[in-house]
A = this chain, B = another copy of it.
């Protein structure tokens, strides 16, 4: 059975002291309902994605569904660390294919600024079985990705300037996205001169701590036809999860979970040449090195050539395969559970040619989505086509 995305919504990302968790969710939900020309009555199941460790709501699905008008329709929450949004989209998808629902909404919402940033980062570093790293070395989240960066630099000669280019591109795109956390362009020098967090990652190599929400309404093919809706179809889904014990990983120059999840999604969607079969990609750029590894692990270039790929401009708007056209986690912001669903928002807007000054050229009408949780513990890859 084919399942299509028929409505999307996204809140302003950033520091959102002005709203509660459920009010934030409603910003995205109400936009998605309008976009699909639907009301709450048309939705059969609501899947709420929320990591929740950084806000005060312990069981967030209850108030989110209550406030958004889905009491009676929201029987579960999902969580997969930073890939929670993808898990919500997957659960909405499988609810439709399994015949339980005709129309499903996936909501990703996160308030991350209700606890102090230092605490938040410490918690981030403790995504799962952290063994001794946190207690012994105080290893927080940036430190894990710094290990990836140093390994990549040592093995492939990737430079700090190449890492910086990822941030520069992200900020350039985000500057044109009114919903982005940051709307300010930066230069390579700004990145290189910014405060060192964990060598070689500096402040501008890291995504911010953001609040935000996004929502996507999915419908069965039958429902799409019945209502005459404009759908962006899900052609492929892949997932994986990797050991959280870093000492068991073969190397640090890529994420095995990304490679495995992409293989699964590409097989389902019959993709064998990703660089030429997609019009855009959203990849998980929590740190600049993460985007460079994603280029390689997703097959846009060979292993080790990610640094050259960003230099080539092929992932820029106007390049062969624009990546993170709305600013990425790096500059649009990364409210954990909202991120995966916001990637669907970006893809749907692009494939419908509604992206304004950030619009990519459409040839294949096909887009790739890549969302990672933890330090590569979770990974989801989706293929969309209009």
The interface of chain A, by Cβ under 8 A from chain B, is 22, 45, 51, 53, 57-59, 61-63, 65-67, 70-81, 83-84, 87, 90-91, 93-95, 97-100, 123, 126-129, 237, 239-245, 257, 260, 374, 377-380
Contact = CB atoms under 8 A, between A and B. Distances in A.
27 contacts: A22-B129, A57-B128, A58-B123, A59-B81, A59-B128, A61-B79, A62-B129, A65-B241, A72-B241, A73-B241, A75-B90, A75-B240, A76-B78, A76-B79, A76-B87, A76-B90, A76-B378, A77-B79, A78-B78, A91-B94, A93-B98, A94-B95, A94-B97, A94-B98, A97-B98, A97-B99, A98-B98
B53 A59 contact: yes
Contact of A75 (B93, B126, B128, B378): B378
Nearest to A49: B76
In the A-B complex, the 9 residue pairs with the closest CB atoms: A62-B128, A97-B98, A63-B129, A76-B87, A75-B239, A94-B98, A94-B94, A71-B243, A76-B80
A126 B97 CA distance: 34
Nearest to A62: B128
B244 A127 contact: no
A317 B154 CA distance: 69
Given A78-B78, A98-B98, A66 B244 contact: yes
B71 A241 contact: yes
Contacts of A72: 240-242, 257, 260
Contact of A62 (B58, B66, B94, B127): B127
Contacts of A67: 129
A80 B237 CA distance: 24
B66 A129 contact: yes
B79 A377 contact: no
A129 B25 CA distance: 14
Contact of A63 (B75, B77, B91, B244): B244
A378 to B, nearest CB: 5
Contacts of A79: 59, 61, 76-79
Nearest to A73: B241
Given A75-B240, A80-B75, A128 B63 contact: yes
Contacts of A51: 59
Given A75-B380, A80-B77, A94-B100, A58 B126 contact: yes
A44 to B, nearest CB: 10
Contacts of A374: 59, 62
A378 B62 CA distance: 8
Contact of A243 (B61, B66, B126, B240): B66
A72 B78 CA distance: 18
B91 A76 contact: yes
Contacts of A73: 240-241
Contacts of A240: 72-73, 75
Nearest to A80: B76
A144 to B, nearest CB: 13
A78 B60 CA distance: 12
A97 B62 CA distance: 27
Contacts of A127: 58-59, 62
B95 A75 contact: no
